[in-house]
Chains A and B, each alone.
Chain A
Amino acid sequence: MSTPPPPMPQTAAPDWQAAPGSPYPTYTSPIPVVRTHLGHALASEWTKIRSVRSTMWTLGVFVLLVVGVGLLTGLVVSSADPDMSGESPLALGFFGLLLGGMCIITLGVLTTASEYGTGMIRTTMVACPSRGRVLLAKALVFFLIAFVVTLVCTTLVGFLHVALLEGHNAKEPTGEEWLKGTLGVSLYVALLGTLSLAIGSIIRHSAGAITIMIGAVLAPLVIALFMFSSSLADVQQALFEYSIPNQMSIFYANSLSESGPSGWDPLWIMLVVTAAALGGAFALLQKRDV
């Protein structure tokens, strides 16, 4: 211990008064009693997420990947003097975002699972015994951060690509294409992160939950690639269509297949899956010991 001898607590003078119905004198604090609500939990989770370095790291790498890979793709394509033959330049943003998604998954998992690894969860639950409120606050704070950061990055990359490919017979993106390529895909990625957060809360182990989520993103596509048997053609098709990378690419209107989900469908699919996972995480949180 290198700290100087600490002074004794400078609390207010003892306030002796008999609590009603109790034969014993009890201490009454001068601090006003506040009935806690979700707002308090949100403020607490906001402090938590911004006061650890892993948040800055994962989001920093995310921005680097989305903007960096986006810029590189744009430069390579434009320097090749291509004929875009009426394709939307926004589609080029897909590659960076697919890679960056891994960072959002990691941060989502860490938001919940790291508390179990460090034992912080006990401190959290003692301070806020309403477990559902803790999970909800975590999910809301994380979702907003992930959404805002993704929206800023995708919009930036979108403008970048449109500017770089001007005059290469690229299509001027319509309003709906802009909406899907920025707002839509950002909501999707933020939901994917929130799903990871729910899985982190269920698995309670950072590395395990991250592995599961990366597997869920990549495995269907990789497995489908090797399904050569014709009797498996339907399964292969479904795996391709509903794999997370393909769902993401639908926001850029360059799907692997013509059938399957289209338009805003991926967003609704992810919304249902995330809600179900959060529901499961909530039920387990109520049932299990911390």
Chain B
Amino acid sequence: MIELEGLTKRYGEKVAVDGLTFTVRPGIVTGFLGPNGAGKSTTMRMILGLDHPTAGDVRIDGTHYDRLEDPLTCIGALLEAKGVHPGRSAYHHLLCLAQSNGLPRQRVHEVLDTVGLTAVARKKAKGFSLGMGQRLGIAAALLGDPRILMFDEPVNGLDPEGIHWIRTLMKSLAAQGRTVFVSSHLMSEMALTADHLVVIGQGRLLADTSMAEFIERNSRSYVRIRGPQRERLLDVLHQAGITAVESGDGSLEVDGSKAEYIGELAARHRLVLHELSPRQASLEEAFMRLTAQSVEYHAHTGVSAPPQRWGDDWKRG
């Protein structure tokens, strides 16, 4: 069990993590979701005692991380950065970690086998692909057979087969009664693995809910309507007691209503419709709506205005 209480991290003026309070429970996979730069990795580093919190507290099974006497049998972590000396072999990397915690040497062979790196155990880590590096990190996390597992973006760089493998692995680890805490910036990925969801944006807690509840609340179904007589259409819908919301591109969106009913309504009033389509908002959209206010790095989707005449831009330059 991981307990966070008002956990805060400031870098000068910038607040990376802002008063996070939540609990990660054993027996289930808890997804830790947020856009890039939301503070997921910083939070995980503070849980592991690598970064000192500016304020607040975080405890592992009731203890501070630096007070753990058997850290690797308590918690295993895969951090975003590779954290491996490129000149050291996978075997020696795991061996030095095992020795630092007095773990039997046999465990090194076991975890290498678990992640499928036995064949390359004596090869230097610098020759590893992104996916192999990720597997080595997972092997290090599993080394102490810990009660708590933390994975920072574990599917990064894995191929579909590897992604499937890690999903199954996380679920089976949770089913054994372990605490599994996984960060990701992909809602779709979390929907497949997590039982519980913690969403943060700009360091603040946005949601702490079960996955089922999140899906129920956010899988919004709506009908998209487009027609040339927009004002008339709005009036008709209004009279029928249906609230329509205007979406950006001039179409209307009606929550929950049946497309058939709206079509018949339009026909009765002799209204032309160009589009009438039932839609289902994806969880990804729900996640984006939730974090829209807190995305730190917005990509600029609009292209800059084209030059008036051909060659204008370079003549000016």
Of residues 132 to 189 in A, which have CB atoms within 8 Å of B's CB atoms? none
Tell me the chain B residues, 86-118 only, with Cβ under 8 Å from chain A. 86-89, 92, 95-97, 99-104, 107, 110, 113-117
* Given A27-B26, A30-B145, A54-B87: A1 touches B79 (CB 8 Å cut-off): no
Residues of B within 8 A of A129 (CB): 49, 65-68, 71
B92 in contact with A289 (CB, 8 Å) = no
Judge if A229 is at the interface, Cβ distance under 8 Å.
no
Please tell me if the beta carbons of A33 and B70 are within 8 angstroms of each other in the complex: yes
Complex Cα spacing A200 to B48, Å:
23
How far apart are the CA atoms of A123 and B161 in the complex, in Å? Answer: 26
In the assembled complex, 20 residue pairs joining A and B whose CB atoms fall closer than 8 Å, in A order, are: A5-B165, A6-B116, A7-B113, A8-B114, A9-B142, A9-B172, A10-B113, A11-B176, A14-B176, A15-B177, A26-B27, A27-B147, A30-B145, A31-B104, A36-B71, A118-B82, A119-B82, A122-B83, A127-B100, A289-B45
State whether A52 and B87 are in contact (beta carbons under 8 Å apart), knowing that A1-B131, A43-B99, A289-B50 are contacts in the complex: yes
Size of chain A's interface in residues, with CB distance under 8 A?
54
- Interface on B for A, CB 8 Å cutoff? 1, 25-27, 45, 48-52, 61, 65-73, 77, 79, 81-89, 92, 95-97, 99-104, 107, 110, 113-117, 119-120, 129, 131-132, 135, 140, 142, 144-147, 158-159, 161-162, 165, 168-169, 172-173, 175-179
B-contacting residues, A38-68, CB 8 Å? 40-41, 43-45, 47-48, 51-54
Known contacts A11-B145, A26-B147, A30-B145; is-contact A47 B92 (Cβ 8 Å): yes
A115 touching B178, Cβ below 8 Å:
no
CB of B116 within 8 A of CB of A5, answer yes
Contact check, A27 vs B100: say whether CB atoms are below 8 A apart: no
> Separation in Å of the B154 CB from the closest CB of chain A?
14
Q: How far is A47 from B93 in the complex, measured between Cα atoms in Å?
A: 9
Provide the residues of chain A in CB contact with B119, threshold 8 Å.
3-4
Q: Interface on chain A toward B: helix, strand, loop, or mixed SS?
A: loop
Partner of B71, one of A16, A27, A127: A127
Contact (Cβ within 8 A) A26 B177: yes
Complex Cα gap A51–B82 (Å): 18
Name the distance in Å between A90's Cβ and chain B's nearest Cβ: 37
Contacts A1-B162, A24-B27, A52-B85 supplied; 15 other A-B pairs, CB < 8 Å: A5-B116, A6-B117, A8-B168, A26-B27, A26-B179, A27-B177, A29-B145, A36-B70, A40-B102, A44-B96, A48-B85, A54-B87, A115-B85, A123-B79, A125-B49
Q: If A35-B70, A44-B99, A123-B97 touch, does A24 touch B1 (CB 8 Å cutoff)?
A: yes
Return chain A residues, CB-CB under 8 Å to B107: 31
Q: B65, B85, B140, B169: which has the most chain A beta carbons within 10 Å?
A: B85
Binding site for B on A (CB under 8 A): 1, 3-11, 14-16, 19, 22, 24-31, 33-36, 40-41, 43-45, 47-48, 51-54, 114-115, 118-120, 122-130, 289-290
Closest chain-A Cβ to B161's Cβ sits at a distance in Å of 6
Q: Which one of A8, A120, A127 lies within 8 Å of B172 (CB-CB)?
A: A8
Q: B72 to nearest A CB, angstroms? A: 6
Cβ–Cβ < 8 Å partners of A127 in chain B: 71-72, 97, 100-101
For A54, list chain B residues within 8 Å (CB).
87
Which residue from chain A places its CB closest to the CB of B103 in the assembled complex? A31
Whether B168 and A122, one on each chain, are in contact in the complex, defined by CB atoms closer than 8 angstroms, is no
Closest to B74 in A: A33
**A122 touching B84 in the complex, CB below 8 Å, given contacts A127-B97, A129-B66:** no
Docked pose: A119 CA to B86 CA in angstroms? 10
B27 close to A40 (CB less than 8 A) = no
